[in-house]
Homo-oligomer: A and B are copies of this chain.
Amino acid sequence: MTERIDTETVETLTGEAEQEGRRSADSSERAYHTIRKLLVEFKLKPDERLNEVQLSRSLGVSRTPIREALNRLASEGFVSLTPNRGFFVRSLSTEGLIDLYELRSIIECASFRLMCERADDAQIGRLTAYWASIVDGYQDNPPDEILVKDEQFHLLIAELSGNPELASQLAAINARIRFIRRIQIERTHDPRQVSSHSEIVAAAVRRDAERGVKLLRDHIEMTVSATQEALKDALLKVYTSTDSIISSRRRRNPREG
């Protein structure tokens, strides 16, 4: 069976008819987003070797933009590169995820603290307004929506810290844990999420850094433990799906642990 990628997912790239040669001038960019999406959505499985030729065929572009995309993804931690052997999907280990959650907690807590110090009332107002605009029926949203809204909420705090580096770091971390977060959100319909966010907003209004940091830490801590469980589901979900891109016979990279 020749390995093929779900066309529905990839369509975006080949969308605009392309009988004749090149003209788009952003194949790399689109390849980057498409492959990244495949990674986030588990279409490409952990430890799997990425075949450049196959990817280029699937996305309808040559290997050059594929490689440029993979290089970017490599420095962002989505994939790894072994010389002369190619790119591999980042492995999915519990420890690695816990580390990322820990990093996220650090960035977010620091962001909140700085926001309390620096943000003026109008800026804090943006946070309360945003939360007010999504709080109604928050839990009734589909998981994808919840995920986006939750990420936006936390990202807004990072932006209000006044340090754009914090915001971009958080965005990068979010992208890397998104795949597991989505699964975790599907599993746990915890109403405490809502009250937790409300309390965080309240602490922000009072400029109560200590309280907010504690809330955030617990908020994230809570998800970490849920993640442990979600991970089992994830692994199941990954290794049982029939439309695997790579052929069934899966082998670990012999050069890595």
Residues of B within 8 A of A76 (CB): 75
In which size bucket is the chain A interface? 20 to 34
Contact of A103 among B25, B67, B99, B163 (CB under 8 A): B163
Copies in the complex: 2
Nearest B residue to A105 via CB reads B110
The answer to whether A183 has its CB under 8 Å from any CB of chain B is: no
Return the chain B residue nearest A173 by Cβ.
B165
- For the complex, is A40 an interface residue (Cβ under 8 Å from B)? no
The answer to whether the Cβ of A64 comes within 8 Å of any Cβ in the partner chain is yes
Whether A74 sits at the interface, judged by CB under 8 Å, is yes
Report Cα–Cα, A110/B113, bound state, in Å: 14
In the assembled complex, how far is the CB of residue A53 from the closest CB belonging to chain B, in whole angstroms? 16
For window 48-62 of A, CB contacts with B under 8 Å fall at: none
Q: A64-B64, A106-B107 are in contact. List 7 more A-B contacts (CB 8 A).
A: A72-B74, A99-B163, A102-B163, A102-B165, A103-B163, A103-B166, A106-B166
